[in-house]
Structure 1
Amino acid sequence: MLPPISPIAYRPALTGLRAVAVWLVVLAHWTRAPFPVGEIGRITFFVLSGYLISGIIWKQQLHPGAPAGWGRRLVTFYQRRGLRILPPYYLALLLGALLPLATLREYPGWFILPVSNLLFYRLHHWGEGVGHYWTMAVDEQFYLVWPFLLGLMGRRIGPLLAVAGSALLFRILWSTWVSPDFVLVLLPSCLDMFAIGAVLRIVEHSPRVQALAQGRWVVLAWAAWAGLWLATHATNAHALWLFVYTTVGSGAAFLTLSWVLHRPAVGQAHGTNFLLSPVLQWVGQRSYGCYLYHLLLPVLYQRVVFRIFPTAETRQFWLSPLPTVLLLLPVLLLLAATSWHWLEAPLNKWKNRLAYAE
């Protein structure tokens, strides 16, 4: 018999983990790192989303087959999600249109809906300064379909693992029969990460999972993931990497989240939990703004550099990774802090007034 879902509570360590994950993505994009360190952040975010959203759906009984009133409660869930995510997102889109960003100006409807992941799949290239929005589109599509999938599967590990396997199968079949280009931006390709997060929500308190919730297993799992990347690229097996890396990474993210959830805030044997540091808590709380604006800034920065500096050598220096990071980091943090103070925090207060019906 499965244990009951534990109460939904604020976990500050997860806020610190968000800070680490979002800056892995930001720095990977700003520095054009050859190793896919940004994928570690993205996979962790998607697994975390599966963990949190599945917990809300089960706890609040928002899925078909739940007690009477599940439809009204599901509407409340969508209202809360929309209020938290969409206004800051649309503000970022407006700023991008004013910049202007060519892809956003040419295809505005794909971003407004938002289905930008389908646009990038159709175009087979990333838009200038908007390429990261595909993950937000996938996340919002996940919110729409996941309550209904959980209603079909119930709170059972086997069907969830089958969903994870189906994502791997989808990537293989779609790449073979249709096209391998940009297959990873389609929602079915990402379901393994969300499903593994849901599995963690079920088994997080089991003794076996608690035994694995140790830092050495986290390091070993991500080292194995990195070794897979090295082996597939050294042997020119890039297709194999694209097929399996999110599934393998989901396992590493599963262990990472298990370790974070079971790590004590303060303990004599473990010391202070670094994820609870004031800096990471501050950044993690503002991680959404960091993610929203992090690809807009390099576009603006590049235009300024080309306007100010006439020679190629000077431009090359200022657009190299170190000056880019040093100059854009405080600007991004300021933008994220402004977004949080004037928009996100007030919206969160409104969101919290939307209570689920009994």
Structure 2
Amino acid sequence: MKQETYFTQLDGIRFLAVGLVLVDHWLAERNVLPLGVLGVTMFFVLSGFLITRILIQSKLKDDKVGRSHWFSVKQFIIRRSIRIFPIYFLTIFVLYALDVPPVRETVWWCLTYTTNIYIATKEHWMGTIDHLWSLAVEEQYYLIFPYLILFLPVKNYLKVLFSMIVLSIIIRIFLFLNGNEWMVQYVLMPTCLDSFGLGGLLAYYFTFKKETIFEEISKTKYLIASFILLISLMFFVRQYQLSSNQVHHFGNLVLERFIGSLFCFFLIAKAVTGYDGIMKFILENPASSYLGRISYGLYLYHNFVYNVYHTPNTSIVMKVLHKIQSVIPILSQNLAFELIYFLAITVFLATASWYLIEKPVNNLKKHFTY
């Protein structure tokens, strides 16, 4: 049974996801749309699809060759660790050595992938390492979900996946009605399960109902309808915020992630079967494909290159920027140039990370096939 099918356009989806996050984080208040939220949601749905598909195929192969599912558990953990841990822990080590706040004070939260729990319990963000919360969510998901797929009968998969979606929404509603600080329902792993669940549904239908349900899901009309729904929600949320002076409310705390996940559900389904035309070019051109491949590094490093709230003018990145702008005055206060400058540095760091660390280490995965 072949597991390593490579969906070319999914690299382009990764590029879109990380691009949305970078634009959102670097523009801050200049951007009024929740692009970062949508970008992270896209990553979650994509992870749900890819991880669930791998696990389902592993279970089917276990059953076919008569081996224990614990073999697949071990392989999954090793392969995920090889992919995720090296540059993550290296980054934490470097930040700790340079005494970048608040790493030393929160180092155990960082090392145990629980920064999202720190944010939820302390009810405040973590400065330049804010973005690590989503990596913590993914890791916590990996610690639980594989056992459900590998050890439960296939007939229970749909119940599990739909339950994840419903439970996640119920938890967000409960936290909202209970008056919890907004970041609590934003960063906790259980409140993100609708994204993973919808991605899991894609994997289930692709594996077992590819010629029927999955083919129907991948039709463009559903993508367009979900996009219209998402844009309508964004418009409603924005207008409500302006009229009520409420930044956080039911629309963006409860509905936004689900509607965004639904849009990503159809977006990814179509990418799996393959877009044509302009979308094919966007997702498959060499730049998109490459940036998608190094998207983990882009996401991990971008906040250290520049963060509108936490990067001081005394940082090396900002000193060089100001020097360039003093030499070429036309570039002073030029937002487009600043974004290109930050992106160039981030791409350079992610490229070095990919070729010097990630790619060589990833080659070890061939020794741990399913």
TM-score by length of 2: 0.84
- Taking structure 1 as reference, are residues 346 and 174 closer, same or farther at Cα in structure 2, changes over 3 Å only? same
Q: Distance in 2 between matches of 1:104 and 1:271?
A: 40
Matches for 1:187-202 after TM superposition, within 5 Å: 187-202=189-204
Amino-acid identity (%)? 26
Q: Distance in 2 between matches of 1:335 and 1:270?
A: 29
Partner of 2:19: 23
Q: Distance in 2 between matches of 1:106 and 1:46?
A: 28
Q: Could you tell me which of 17, 36, 58 is aligned with 1:38?
A: 36
- Taking structure 1 as reference, are residues 319 and 273 closer, same or farther at Cα in structure 2, changes over 3 Å only? closer
2:96–2:103 Cα contact (<8 Å) kept:
yes
> Alpha-carbon deviation of 1:97?
2.6
Show structure 1 runs of 5+ residues with no match.
none
2:49–2:196 Cα contact (<8 Å) kept:
yes
Show structure 2 runs of 5+ residues with no match.
none
> Alpha-carbon deviation of 1:161?
1.2
Q: Distance in 2 between matches of 1:271 and 1:54?
A: 25
Q: CA RMSD in A?
A: 2.9
Partner of 1:322: 336
Partner of 1:49: 47
1:213–1:259 Cα contact (<8 Å) kept:
yes
TM-score by length of 1: 0.86
1:115–1:134 Cα contact (<8 Å) kept:
yes
> Alpha-carbon deviation of 1:302?
3.7
1:276 and 2:284 correspond: yes
Partner of 2:108: 109
Q: Distance in 2 between matches of 1:34 and 1:271?
A: 25
Matches for 1:1-358 after TM superposition, within 5 Å: 7-32=3-28, 33-61=31-59, 68-150=67-149, 151-152=151-152, 154=154, 156-177=157-178, 179-182=180-183, 183-204=185-206, 205-215=210-220, 217-235=222-240, 236=244, 238-241=248-251, 242-263=253-274, 273-299=281-307, 302-304=313-315, 321-356=335-370
Q: Distance in 2 between matches of 1:228 and 1:74?
A: 39
2:3–2:54 Cα contact (<8 Å) kept:
no
2:198–2:261 Cα contact (<8 Å) kept:
yes
Deviations 1:10-30 (A, max 9, x none): 111111211111111111101
- Taking structure 1 as reference, are residues 325 and 273 closer, same or farther at Cα in structure 2, changes over 3 Å only? closer
- Taking structure 1 as reference, are residues 319 and 28 closer, same or farther at Cα in structure 2, changes over 3 Å only? farther
1:302–1:319 Cα contact (<8 Å) kept:
no
2:46–2:199 Cα contact (<8 Å) kept:
yes
